[in-house]
Structure 1
């Protein structure tokens, strides 16, 4: 990490901090599903957590949202330790979008689903209407507000789930395998929404994903294997380590594969994760 980037991170607030987190589904310290997990995520960072099934990715999201309790260690959200007594602080600051958006729908219409959390917070009806209209505009679902959520496409359902969370205005948004059930177009749209939320709404984005092409959008990547962190770094730092990724049987983004092939043929001078950089260098040949 260069000094400029290091200094800019120091100026930002730490949004999420895991300190020596250990967790076991069997409550057995000898059979840990998360082992000595330590990391920091800074405000307005886009972080991807990757690894095979069973590596602990979704377990981290459940521990972070207090659905599961660690055996030991401490989690802080914006400097506040998370425990049983401050669930309201957690809910105010962290929202999660799940793999299957149907699990988040309870209303008759899309508008009802977005309004549900606001009603629980006893938001004034006029203010609620303004919030619903604003998030619907942001996520581009204004035309869906009167629709039955169950009748929507997969991509539309995910948009509604995102709007429902965004309406609560959390500072941190977790996307837990949110693109896995979408078609290519839906995946592309959702990945753009995550980038827009980071850029335009100043959200901290945590994406638990198998989509290696998405990982190139991240500021930071956390690689898990069997409940342990094996690598942390920027995408270009992670994907340059072919030996480690191949040992863990993790795939590479298409752009990295293409870049490597072009470098092997002496078309590129180096492997790049930047599409514009790749195109510019190819055009110079």
Structure 2
């Protein structure tokens, strides 16, 4: 029987790569994005349905999920929509902070809440929530972004326990650096003269040379597909060599030792 996945944030990057991969594996894909009328690739693929969805609009989230479930039997929900907000806290506006939280964290919570009754009643289903290496540890200028991604990780773990009794799985995929527009269009933030040296040093990690070494979104999409189909009760999937190295260091050395190492790395 053909399976169906509902994906948020499919206009570019990892979301689009995941949509293409699942479609190529014979799945029906419900691909959501804020402006589907601008999409020129996914709308050409068989078994892909494009829907408008802004995950910060709770009313639209509820309506889109309800409309979807009237027409489709959904097996997997991939909470992928999000963007990067990088900069020292003093440089960020209240609006930037609120929008980051609404998109990266509240959007995941509200969409999951809308799907839970459906999965609970049929006693099956998989939630896959995309976090980040910075949802497992943090770096300077990533305080608010990490707050959202740590939040998604903690939310997912709590939900993992809550829904197990109903046969519903919750999984987290935590990528490291990816060759996507995260370092371009998705990367927002601010500058502050008191932190300029620190900003410059952190920015070295987003140089074209560094980005060329990042993991391709297609590789992370493969890990998402594995999480969706492996039948394991595994909670976290760390994706990418850099993410794996940093996470293993945290597990082996301990969070405090790693925090001290990162602080020393960025001391000016």
**TM-score above 0.5, yes or no:** no
Find the structure with the greater CA-based Rg.
Answer: 1
Query: More strand per residue: 1 or 2?
Result: 1
Q: What TM-score comes out, normalization by structure 2 length?
A: 0.33
